[in-house]
Structure 1
Amino acid sequence: MNVGACGLPMVAWSLLIDKVHRSPSTGIDWSARKPLRETLDLSLTKLAGLWATWTAIAVIYDTGRFYWQGNFAFAI
């Protein structure tokens, strides 16, 4: 709850007020619209990498029982 209560307003402020996604430093040229066919492969690869990363983290937490004992117990 704390992460949501703190994180969501920060993300909303960054996107709606600061417009960080429009910054030239992101490397995304929002004015150059490209057809979906040109960007689909790259987008799917990035999404697959993101989900693979989250899956690896979940596997480590699930199989790494050392997190469930001792000083790590508060994290779980």
Structure 2
Amino acid sequence: MGELKLEQNKLIFQIEQLRMQLCNLAKEKGISHHSVIELSQELDNYIVQYVRQYGGRNSKAGEQSLSRSSSLPD
């Protein structure tokens, strides 16, 4: 069970890293720039992977992890 939690935390970390990169890139280049759109799509893929693996909002673990990460500043 500990290995599963480690993998979940790694995925959350990747999502948060991409989210921060996306915010910075969007501020720098604007939200319609092709590099911002590409990074947004990459982030979407990680989020979909997270929801598929950990149940997203219907999962207690997913709910706690995502609500904690969504409270981080942009």
- TM-score bracket, normalised by the shorter chain, equals 0.3 to 0.5
- Which is higher, the Rg of structure 1 or of structure 2? 1
TM-score by length of 1: 0.38
Higher helix proportion (structure 1 or 2): 2
Higher normalized contact order (CA 8 Å, seq sep 6+, divided by chain length): 2
